[in-house]
Amino acid sequence: MAICSKCTFDMYSSCHLCPRDCGADRSSGKTGVCGMTDMLRIARVGLHMWEEPCLSGTRGSGTIFFTGCNLGCIFCQNHEISRHTPSLPGREYSVEDLSSAMLDLQNQGAHNINFVTGTHFVPHIIEGVALARRNGLSIPTLYNCGGYESVETIRALEGTIDIYLPDMKFFSTEVSQKYTGAKDYFERARDAIAEMVRQKPSQEFSSDGMLLRGVIVRHLMLPGLLFDTKHILDHLCETYGNTITISLMNQYTPMPGVPEELSSPLSQKHYDSMVDYLTILGQENAFTQEGGTVSESFIPDFE
């Protein structure tokens, strides 16, 4: 059943779009934990070549980077647009502007429309995709998020999103509390991913190997947290096996101001051991990264 526009935007009036449950009346100009009112703000729209191969392909993923974030990792590579700052990056968009941006990306050859950190703007995503599809959008839509999601919000996206690309960042409650202030991160990500897989229980690819429907779960390994990674891989492989793809990432890049334990790159030895562990677990659908990915060149230019 389609969600009416008014009902969709009512979600901003007492905001519970994410597990922070801040209840802010964003429709009256108040800001939520994400730092945003109900005015859609986008920091960057463009083709991006550095997603997983089945997403970027040869022409790029059509990325739409939203300003603000509900999680606020202290090591965030996109901190320029995700954190509260006096001067908000990007510019304001209407639903019509968002729809036009999607169609422009499709016309540029994008393989998909990639909503990056859009949790706090899900009502706009729902309405924007519906309008874009009425006007000719035919490529897959992709929800690219930090994993700290409300199951109810993911349910609201059913029929809007073709591909889910969540992170599963942390297993330990102590670690997630320290780095994000979200002690319940793992259980929230676990339940949200379960709902994503319910909606997309199998993967479908085009003839040229591009993902059309399905779930890819990313895990960015952090220095010194080898066993956190092991627990996450155990959970994903035991729960979903090869019905999903796991993207194990080594591209952690230390940002200014991070704690001492996060001030160095990831140990290559630790990363290689977890790549081997995926094989032991029988995971056949996995993306891994070679050396040389620790670089600020992989961070988009938000100017």
CB-based contacts of 190: which residues, under 8 Å, 6+ apart? 168, 235
- pTM of the full predicted structure? 0.94
The pLDDT assigned to 282 comes to 97
Quote the DSSP letter at residue 73: -
CATH topology of domain 41-289: TIM Barrel (3.20.20)
Quote the DSSP letter at residue 205: E
The pLDDT assigned to 88 comes to 73
Find, among 278, 143, 132, 150, the residue nearest to 213 by Cα. Answer: 143
The pLDDT assigned to 302 comes to 34
Count Cβ atoms within 10 A of the Cβ of residue 47 and give its class: 0-12 exposed, 13-18 middle, 19 or more buried. Answer: middle
The pLDDT assigned to 3 comes to 47
Domain boundaries, the chain: 41-289
| CA triple 129-130-132, angle to 5 deg | 60
Please say whether the beta carbons of 227 and 277 come within 8 A.
Answer: no
Read off the tokens for 67.
Answer: 């300003």
Strand partners, 44: 65
Find, among 172, 192, 262, the residue nearest to 223 by Cα. Answer: 262
Averaged over successive runs of 10 residues, the pLDDT of the chain (303 residues) comes to 64 97 97 95 96 98 96 87 69 97 98 98 98 98 98 98 98 98 98 98 98 98 97 98 98 93 96 98 95 50 42
The pLDDT assigned to 78 comes to 78
Find, among 142, 138, 86, the residue nearest to 117 by Cα. Answer: 142
| CA triple 124-128-129, angle to 5 deg | 120
The pLDDT assigned to 4 comes to 52
Bridge pairing between strands 286-287 and 245-249: parallel
The pLDDT assigned to 293 comes to 52
Read off the tokens for 134.
Answer: 């009425």
Distance CA 197, CA 200 (A): 5
Tokens 């100017």 locate to 303
